[in-house]
Amino acid sequence: MTIKQHIQSKISEIVSKLYGIENVTLEVQKNKTEFEGDFTIVIFPLVKLAKKSPDVLGNELGEEIKNQIDFIENFGIVKGFLNLKVKDSAFLQEFSETEKNFDSTPSKNETVMVEYSSPNTNKPLHLGHIRNNLLGFSVAEILKADGYNVIKTQIINDRGIHICKSMLAWEKFGNGETPESTGLKGDKLVGNYYVEFDKLYKSEIKAQVADGIDEETAKKQAPSIIEAQEMLLKWEQNDADVRKLWEMMNSWVYAGFNQTYARLGVNFDQVQYESNTYLLGKDLIQQGLDNGVLYKKEDGSVWCDLTDEGLDQKLLLRSDGTSVYMTQDLGTAVERFKDNDIQRLIYTVGNEQDYHFQVLFKILKKLGYNWADHLYHLSYGMVELPEGKMKSREGTVVDADDLVQEMYLTAKEKSQELGKLESLSNEEKERSYETVGLGALKYFILKVDPKKKMLFNPAESIDFNGNTGPFIQYTYARIQSLLDKANYSAKGLSDAYLPNVGEKDLIMLLSEFKDVIAKASESLSPALVANYVYELVKSYNSFYQNNPILNQDDENAKQFRLQISDLAGKTIKKGLSLLGINVVNRM
């Protein structure tokens, strides 16, 4: 428990003892005024309830706090604020405890499954997928750091009409080309044919409309869409040729996805495929009918009535017996809980699917699955560019690989311009360009609260100053350079050392790291970690500028400042790792 947490935990108990007042929260804050004291308690909320003046209240509370908490040295009251002075030895003790327990995390004895990515195999990953992957991966890492067991998973949408569109276009225009013959990544090659299909389809619609056919009819009877539908039917009937083509083109896409995942630094413990799960859920439909939870219409279609939940009626099985996405998602959720000892399942999916997940969770609950209360939709806002939204079928998306390469090149250009990496070997420089470029991308995306829509600007993200990944990485490298120059090795603290204000501020901030992880874990928001690390870096840079280290004559002061620098560096590195960001030792 930190100094601040210890004080906070005692306040309610003391207020209850002195005044018999319950459920009043007096907030403990770090003192930012010129008045003496390390912490401030705002006592105004208690004035009316206790019917006493701020000065009288402050004195009574201050005396009781001083009596009950042995590390409180003194207190003062200034205009309704109770300022508490903490003994220097308490800060040294807090630093020692933070350092000692840095790598220890008690297990929560609970397993959480986190689903993210879940792409379609008819196109490469794009900027929207990047936010999804970075967010899901980071949340998984934060949950692990908070003591949970985590299973990272994705379900790949590898079947359906959209997949057949790419397959059909390749048959028509591909001339047998492959990733090897073209030099293209497999997912890009297949994605190109998805765009080609759309061009063909639109040209057919345009031609039919020109012949006097209305647009809606033209869309349904365009030759290409009819062929794609026929191909899907053949796929469902296990036609050997269609299945062979499907397997070949999907294998190209998987290889391409894996290259992108590797460069992004994300991974998965399990992978599921829609081609294996799309029939799941049909048994649940019968179960729901038998239990009276679902009902059948005259045409044979099956529905769930959620109007009593404030939602609508949801189709679960078409009249021809075929399932819909909801049916599949029901079956997949049940299978995941059956096959894995998990207590919670988190879906990382954009906010355009908010309603879908509301319905999914309600139906599972109606079907009698109590673990439905432990399903969570990590809903995030869309990523837009300065020029607006992206459209896959028109080929106007920001390709994930292209963006990552652009970040690498921008990092290289900026580093060379600023002369940041001149002392490194060419191999080290290349590694640094990649680390800094990807760090800029990841930090820029993850520092924004997941629920917010965001505008991505590559140029802003790679600035070496301000709230950016490169600025934080640079501070980490500065700390490593300092420790190298000092030939630092931990020697332990002197009990006689008296930390100054800047050192105390840094100690308090470092001690909050695990609490920040716990809050980020609870809220599933990497932004809390990102912004904590930025605050830590700002605090460390202020400390570094105002406290001589290498040329410090007092050996105790020098040793302590090196030790606090070392812990700050470890905390920055760990914080960035929870965002999937690597560090470099020299910049």
Question: Could you tell me if 160 and 232 are in contact, meaning their C-beta atoms sit under 8 angstroms apart?
Answer: yes
Give the CA count within 13 Å in the CB-facing half-sphere of 310. Answer: 2
**Nearest Cα residue to 14 out of 48, 54, 52, 46:** 46
The answer to whether 472 and 533 have CB atoms below 8 angstroms apart is yes
In three-state secondary structure terms, 38 is coil
The confidence score (pLDDT) of residue 421 equals 75
Q: Residue 71 pLDDT more than 90?
A: yes
The pLDDT score that the predictor gives to residue 573 is 98
Residues contacting residue 397 through CB under 8 Å, at least 6 positions apart: 123, 126, 127, 128, 390, 391
Q: Are 377 and 320 in contact (CB under 8 A)?
A: no
Which contiguous run of DSSP H or E holds residue 543?
helix 526-546
For the ranges 7-11, 340-344, 454-458, the one whose mean pLDDT is highest: 340-344
* CATH class of the domain whose range is 3-86: alpha beta
104-342-349 Cα angle (round to 5): 95
Q: What is the pLDDT of residues 252-309, one digit of tens each?
A: 999 999 999 999 999 999 999 999 888 888 889 999 999 999 999 999 999 999 999 8
Q: Residue range 219-245: average pLDDT?
A: 95
* DSSP β-bridge partners for residue 81: 42, 78
Confidence of residue 387 (pLDDT cuts 50, 70, 90): low
Provide the pairing of β-strand 302-305 with 313-317.
antiparallel
Q: Is the pLDDT of residue 358 over 80?
A: yes
pLDDT for res 49 = 87
Indicate if the pLDDT at residue 396 is higher than 70: no
Q: Compute the distance between CA of residue 91 and CA of residue 556 in angstroms, rounded to an integer.
A: 15
Query: Where along the chain do its domains lie?
Result: 3-86, 160-275, 409-578
Which residues have a Cβ under 8 Å from the Cβ of 507 and sit 6 or more positions away?
91, 94, 95, 98, 499, 564
* β-pair partners for 42: 81
Whether the per-residue pLDDT at 389 is higher than 70: the answer is no
CA distance 95 to 86: 14
Residue type present at position 77: I
Choose the most confident range, by mean pLDDT, from 53-62, 74-83, 130-139: 130-139
Write the secondary structure of 455-486 as one string of H (helix), E (strand) and C (coil).
ECCHHHHCCCCCCCHHHHHHHHHHHHHHHHHC
H-helix or E-strand containing 546?
A: helix 526-546
Secondary-structure breakdown of the chain: helix, strand, coil percentages, each rounded to the nearest 5: 60, 10, 30
Sign of the alpha-carbon torsion through 216, 160, 332, 277: positive
Query: How do residues 509-542 score in pLDDT, each as one tens digit?
Result: 999 999 999 999 999 999 999 999 999 999 999 9
Report the range of poorest mean pLDDT among 118-127, 196-205, 474-483, 575-584: 118-127
Q: What pLDDT digit, counting tens, does each position of 412-453 carry?
A: 988 888 776 777 888 889 999 999 999 999 999 999 999 998
| Least confident interval from 143-147, 244-248, 392-396 | 392-396
- Nearest of 68, 118, 498 to residue 346 by alpha carbon: 118
Distances (CA, A) of 134 to 99, 100, 348, 446, 559: 29, 30, 10, 7, 38
pLDDT of residue 12: 86
Cβ-Cβ contacts under 8 Å for 219 (sequence gap 6 or more): 205, 225
Angle of helix 354-366 relative to helix 325-339, nearest 10 degrees, comes to 60
Angstrom distance (rounded) from CA 186 to CA 133: 20
Query: Residue 150's beta-bridge partner residues?
Result: 112
**270 class by beta-carbon count within 10 Å (0-12 exposed, 13-18 middle, 19+ buried):** middle
Q: Is the pTM of this model over 0.85?
A: yes
- Please name which of 5, 4, 26, 7 lies closest in space to residue 15, comparing C-alpha atoms: 26
Give the CA dihedral 510, 516, 518, 524, nearest 10 degrees: -150
Closest alpha carbon to 114 in 334, 275, 269: 269
Question: In this predicted structure, what is the pLDDT of residue 393?
Answer: 44
The dotted CATH code for 409-578 is 1.10.730.10
How confident is the model at residue 395, as a pLDDT? 47
Tokens representing 133?
């992957």
587 band by pLDDT with thresholds 50, 70 and 90: confident
> What b-and-e string marks burial along 325-356, b requiring 16 or more CB atoms within 10 Å of the CB?
ebbbbbbbbbebbeeeebbbbbbbbbbeeeeb
Q: What is the pLDDT of residue 494?
A: 67
